[in-house]
Homo-oligomer: A and B are copies of this chain.
């Protein structure tokens, strides 16, 4: 079965990102497919490569990147939400005249249409938020 995942909160502040990760991992382990993980609202902050969590804690961003690499996941950060919150890739930084970008490996920035598309193409859409 094909799942779409929506993550509405950033890393560490709320458990939503942890729960979404555990759900996604369990779905993959049980033979399901993940059509897309879409990061919206503060969820876009899951896609920054600048986090340095304490060494005895989980690394939420790297965990997504690694799961993504292993299973060829489509990790999509909403562009409108990302602009409000300061999450940029190289192209966006250039386009907005910013001197740095902070997107993590394995994430890509795209429009809200990708969320609707995930709703259409997935058998189930599961939402994690506050």
Contact = CB atoms under 8 A, between A and B. Distances in A.
Interface of A: 10-13, 41-42, 45, 48-54, 57, 61, 80, 83-88, 93, 96, 98, 100-102
How many identical chains are in the complex?
2
Contacts of A51: 83-86
Nearest to A9: B13
A19 to B, nearest CB: 18
A86 B48 contact: yes
A13 B113 CA distance: 21
A51 B100 CA distance: 11
B49 A10 contact: no
Contacts of A88: 50, 52
A16 to B, nearest CB: 12
A30 B53 CA distance: 40
Contacts of A41: 13
Contact of A85 (B12, B57, B83): B12
B45 A86 contact: yes
Contacts of A96: 52
A12 B84 contact: yes
A64 to B, nearest CB: 13
Contacts of A50: 86-88, 93, 98, 100-102
